[in-house]
Structure 1
């Protein structure tokens, strides 16, 4: 079948007549269309009614009228994205390496969001519009918290230019694709790579007039990716396994695709200048159009049976009545993902002022509703030492909870009743509905934020801090008491420090390898030999160090293989033990080494199940073993020894506990810390 031919009208002039990548997007509600071209510095906001009626504008007869024009980039615009909800925002990326925000639909400039060192190729907002992903020729995908324009995370894993980004509608994953055809699923809860599919899509090399792209189905079940055989491959959201393929009349690779609002239909554009519309259920193409030039970008109109398209010469138009009237409407039964999605935070958080902290908490902040306008002017924030060391700070609490958000694999049907039941079940917990096993952490360190100093270790003797700059970590070790030794000069480590421990005698034990799962390096430097620059280091193949600790004459590290390695200060390995589960953290003082591990997966209520063991290194004996007590639905925020040697823990609910020999051994709650007060924690003790 073939419907009425689609007429395209000029929106952007092609530079020197050469093809260039052009972008097009429907605004939420479908009242406006946004276009941009890599050969033009202008971003055009069109009235959708005028576009459909074939209106003319300043560019001459047959050209499309623009309701607003933005000319703030210094070079061609390579990507545009619109935040969900009315009164939202427009983001643009350019060859000039910048990402900018504008109010919408008037196009008033709001702020410069981020600078890259190379051109931008792709932008995407998450479902709430609270997180923007930006990527291109640079090494890394930047996740930008729109509440204050800070960079929440940089995701690194691609070897080529990242040309496509798409957030899972359920906010569990970000999918990305590069010019080499590699697709990566990023876990948004952990901020790390979940799965990688190598070279599963076409390779376009240095031709920037076409790019790999991908798109989630509206229900979030599958990810559509252009295949290597001029087809479309569907991948499962949780396993990244191939589910099925769509193979039709495309004679060359597919370079653009978009889903209908209900996910029943998929439109694909290929290098053969064809656009096909598929009935995904029957896996047959039901409509097609042939164009004079390649269609490089498409978008299905929200809640309607129409697609807007733009070609590599900057001409665009609307394909009306895409799906024949004899078939099921493309909007019938469209999923309402806002209803079943269970919030990770209490309703009371919705009334609070949005946090300006840079973290994954911004992406699901319920205070940023779909209908709320966004203010992208950067908020000034004072980062003090107390803020960093606050064990119950809002920022640290949210980050820990985001790390514990658990996916339920294989669940492909969301319903309102299930969501309500989950919220009811979580009423007693006050925070998390479901939880993931919390990741390992280093006691005394603070979450890393780009451009800000991060504390790796701190005690009464001194501190270790680091700040990242252009991929390098500038590390400093400072001693508070200058009479005990010289201030150690700063150093730059090309791998970056992920964790460090500092004991009362001034010895430093660190893991300077960041994110290298094939090899991990440990470095130890005793206080007495700083002047002589003495140290020892050790590397482990196939192991990643998760947490480190120091004691009297020994150093210890727990790795991803659940090995506990104990060394002398000279670097000789004294003991190697297998621990019972994935490590959470480890702490040392004197002869005592305490380790916390997961005893099992989280309970349905969201509770962490943790075990704690204490070893006496000198005697080679285990002095304590049992379950670590936590407040329901909380996570362990800090763990270590007090100054008088009592084992202590602090959870994300603000409860500080110490272990006592009373009643055969029990955890005694010392106090509950109010959120607004400032609790200072340190590696070898605590005080209020």
Structure 2
């Protein structure tokens, strides 16, 4: 067998077909260890073939007629038939063991979980059974299918099942809960087929578990991201007939497909190119040997073909590689762009055995000591191409590939014991990762900026909410911008170094009183942009060299300095103020502490220098921005929005939670599963995008903005002895109102004190002072209703009033008198006198 050129038919030594079953649909599967191959067909005999043996197979007679599905572990196999039964047979004794389950209609497919403990069974019924092998009374049901399922596929982790339904939709079920739930529907992918159709609509998971592939109505093979359901690379232009079978190689580097055009195609996963073509008619099912260069398939004639050296010699090295990445358009594990970052490997060396498995310690020790292996025998994953072995959707290695722990000497241990702290990756506020070929560069209250990858270039669109203020615009982007900022004055872009060109910053003003002057500036060679921000006065750029570069709006370099904390994380700006964040010292959990600095560029004054960003353990900053009144805000991964109080006074700043989205009333029932993408804080509201289900980022079409009032997480626990009193019901709301009003008053006081306040701002300050006292007066009213025994707290509440003129305290006395609290009324009168005397002393 020799490979001549791509897209060329391979000349093979013809392998003799083995008559396995009568003509008709035939099925086959390898055991996970690759030692046995099991086939089933329309007769009542199941055959078990030994790998590397030309001898006769072992026949298991007296099975059910018209078998329609087969699945196997190393110890047993399952066979499903048209009479609705699924039976279990031993591979040690080759005998019948038990009936696993029975359905009322014919069985169509069986999928075993990776651990071999559960069997998912599809029939012509409108639900899929997931039966426990050891205890057949333990059954889960995949419900919600409008039509019967044709194919089933477990993902490599066993957490999800892809169901190819006869309605032309792929349903992804999560098995992480007691009642399996549909987490995603992929429509417009597979064609509508009947359950008995000889064509395939199977969704086949890539071995790395981050994507699956399925045949389309256009005879192509489309790859779909399991994380977000987006279309990735496509294997196209190969078949002239409908696809009947497909299978990934064990390491995911190759794909084989068969179709009604009498062809089997061998594809390169990385390039989606055809490496070889084979002539074989009527192929209906095929499987790849778990380890070796062997492909087996069956035909509608009931014949079995086993090719012991299926690959051409030029393609064999692809099969010998370790686990390869699924063919993404934009691979989130290998890219550094926006909010996506390639996993840090720190030059880790990994030893690989001939089967592509990493040798070494379990992951818990790997994270501390690093993998084990000879220094001269390694594969380096510096290019992020996936040579580190099997990874899950979060970039972590699974433990399914581990061999026994090696013994290594103390000298070798010392080499790999260097501690590497976990750092906070850089990100661009308001930007999303790539999903398919699209990503948002910026999302705020002004509008949206997004880009589309057209392979050779990008196309960028800027859209405004208020089209009377500014018209949308669209342009072709040859520079491949990956970050953007948008405000009422202009749009700022930056691009990474590419094709020998340095990183660049581009600013486009919306309108000027002269001819519009766009400008670009290049960064020095080797320096990349980590984040950018745009205010009414300045442009800020943080870089991989830990420089903070500040420009005027017309491109004049204004200031440059090196940030004390590194690596840099992000930045934000408002008028003359800029906020920068970077990685600081390592905390007790092994992660670096985030530090921030706020300075006034125009006055060259530092307000806060290298102060700590207050986060709970394990939390990350999702976004950072200034409110419409100029107060710094962060939104963290726990769903809490925090504002920075007293930030204009050095050493006095503190992060105050103004909203915990997990405590929103809309989530109280527990029926809604949603998170929130932060957009802005304006008019004392949190503006965000609601993300449904398991989505982590907004996507197209343009999402709608939602807003939530501030609600500080003040304790709302009711007294146990009187859970239904008015104080228990109203008190917590009024207490929260008091704390929130006091914070907003404090922020406005700082603004008025530190700036040339306008008359409107001073009037607003007086109004907020009254609001704080009103909240206290309402709280006093509740306490007075409760009885004389709450008089001490009632008097304390009056003492918290800011009223200097005495009107609010006088009103408090009237409230106490209304409820007949004479002693309390007298105490309030004495407090008013003391307040008045204090004012006279001050004068």
Tell me the TM-score normalized by structure 2.
0.43
Which of 61, 64, 67 is the aligned partner of 1:12?
A: 64
Listed as ranges, the matches of 1:411-430 within 5 Å are 428=420, 430=422
Taking structure 1 as reference, are residues 282 and 673 closer, same or farther at Cα in structure 2, changes over 3 Å only?
closer
1:436-455 correspondence to structure 2 within 5 Å = 442=430
In 1: Cα distance, 2:229 partner to 2:416 partner: 28
Could you tell me how far 1:177 is from its partner in structure 2? 2.4
Match 1:82 to one of 112, 119, 124: 112
Residue 235 of structure 1 deviates from its aligned partner by 1.0
Residue 546 of structure 1 pairs with residue 436 of structure 2: no
Alpha-carbon distance change, 183 to 654 in structure 1, aligned in 2, over 3 angstroms: farther
Following superposition, the deviation at residue 68 of structure 1 comes to: 3.0
- 8 Å Cα contact 2:100/2:133 also seen in 1: no
How many residue pairs align between the two structures? 441
Contact 1:654–1:674 (CA under 8 A) maintained in structure 2: no
Q: What CA distance in whole angstroms lies between the structure 2 residues aligned with 1:633 and 1:82?
A: 46
**CA-to-aligned-CA distance 1:11-39 (integer Å, 9 cap, x gap):** 3344xxxxxx7110112xx21101123x3
Aligned twin of 1:192: 230
Distance 1:68 1:106 in 2: 12
Aligned pairs (5 A) from 1:296-315: none
- The residue that corresponds to 1:26 in the other structure is 72
Distance change (3 Å), C-alpha of 1:623 and 1:258:
closer
Does the 8 A contact of 1:128 with 1:363 survive in 2? Answer: no
> Which structure has greater strand proportion?
1
Structure 1 position 143 matched with structure 2 position 172: yes
**Residue 168 (1) aligns with residue 211 (2):** no
Are residues 231 and 263 of structure 1, via their aligned partners in 2, closer, same or farther at CA, if it must alter by over 3 Å? farther
Q: Distance in 2 between matches of 1:334 and 1:194?
A: 30
After superposition, the Cα gap between the structure-2 partners of 1:576 and 1:649, relative to the gap in structure 1 and judged at 3 Å, is farther
Equivalent residue number for residue 623 of structure 1:
539
User: Distance in 1 between the 2:423 and 2:133 partners?
Assistant: 34
Could you say which residue in structure 2 is the equivalent of 1:69? 100
Residue 103 of structure 1, CA deviation: 1.6
Aligned partners of 1:633, 1:171: CA distance in 2, in Å? 31
Deviation at 1:107, TM superposition (A): 3.0
Give the Cα separation in 2 of the matches to 1:614 and 1:90. 53
CA shift in 2, pair 1:166/1:109, >3 Å: same
Q: Rg: which structure is higher?
A: 2
* In 1: Cα distance, 2:60 partner to 2:298 partner: 15
State the distance in 2 between where 1:574 and 1:650 align. 35
Query: Does 2:430 align with 1:557?
Result: no
Q: Which gives a bigger RCO, structure 1 or 2 (Cα 8 Å, sep 6+)?
A: 1
Q: Which runs of 5+ in 2 are unaligned?
A: 1-15, 19-54, 193-199, 314-352, 369-390, 402-406, 453-457, 500-526, 547-562, 584-590, 620-637, 642-677, 687-711, 714-843
Tell me whether 1:214 sits opposite 2:246 in the alignment.
yes
1:622 CA displacement:
6.2
Task: Describe the shift of the 1:370–1:612 C-alpha distance in structure 2 as closer, same or farther (beyond 3 A).
Answer: closer
Structure 1 residue runs of 5 or longer lacking an equivalent are 15-20, 56-64, 205-210, 285-332, 349-360, 372-415, 448-497, 499-514, 518-543, 602-607
Give CA-to-partner distance per residue, 1:192-221, whole Å, 9 cap, x none. 3221234745756xxxxxx82211222332
- Confirm or deny that 1:48 pairs with 2:105: no
Deviation at 1:658? 5.9
Per-residue deviation, 1:117: 1.8
Structure 1 residues 108, 145: closer, same or farther in 2, change over 3 A?
A: same
Quick one: which of 673, 677, 682 aligns to 2:615?
Answer: 673
- Contact 2:146–2:167 (Cα < 8 Å) also in 1: yes
- Which residue is equivalent to 2:256? 224
Give the direction of change, closer, same or farther, for the CA distance of 1:66–1:673 in structure 2 (3 Å limit).
same
Query: What displacement does 1:368 show?
Result: 8.3
Say which of 561, 565, 573 aligns to 2:471.
Answer: 573
**How much has 1:363 moved relative to structure 2?**
5.8
1:299-338 correspondence runs (5 A): 335=355, 337=357
Following the alignment from structure 1 to structure 2, what is the Cα–Cα distance between the partners of residues 649 and 576? 32
Quote the offset at 1:46 in angstroms. Answer: 1.8
CA offsets, 1:534-583, max 9 Å, x none?
Answer: xxxxxxxxxx67255455xx544333235252645327527667779656
The corresponding residue for 2:122 is 93
Counterpart Cα distance in 1 of 2:493 and 2:593 = 21
CA contact 1:654–1:675 (8 Å) conserved in 2: no
Alpha-carbon distance between aligned partners in 2 of 1:428 and 1:660, rounded to the nearest angstrom:
31
Deviation at 1:69, TM superposition (A): 2.6
Structure 2 CA distance for aligned equivalents of residues 89 and 201 of structure 1? 35
Matches within 5 A, 1:305-384: 335=355, 337=357
C-alpha distance in 2 between matches for 1:277 and 1:33: 20
Cα deviation digits, residues 366-415 of structure 1 (max 9, x gap): 798659xxxxxxxxxxxxxxxxxxxxxxxxxxxxxxxxxxxxxxxxxxxx
Match of 2:158 in 1: 129
User: Structure 1 residues 256 and 549 mapped into 2: Cα distance closer, same or farther (>3 Å)?
Assistant: closer
Tell me the TM-score normalised to structure 1 length: 0.51
**1:82-141 Cα distance to aligned partner (Å, 9 max, x none):** 11235x322222322323322224433332234322221222223332332222224443
Structure with greater helix percent: 2
C-alpha distance in 1, partners of 2:609/2:268? 44
* Pairs within 5 Å for 1:250-261: 250=280, 252-261=281-290
- Distance (whole Å) between structure 2 residues aligned to residue 342 and residue 155 of structure 1: 36
Residue correspondence of structure 1 range 497-516 to structure 2 within 5 A: none
CA gap 1:199/1:584 in 2 versus in 1, 3 angstroms: closer
CA distance in structure 1 between the aligned counterparts of 2:60 and 2:395, rounded to whole angstroms: 41
* CA–CA separation in structure 2 for the residues paired with 1:570 and 1:141: 43
Change (3 A) 1:80 1:341: farther
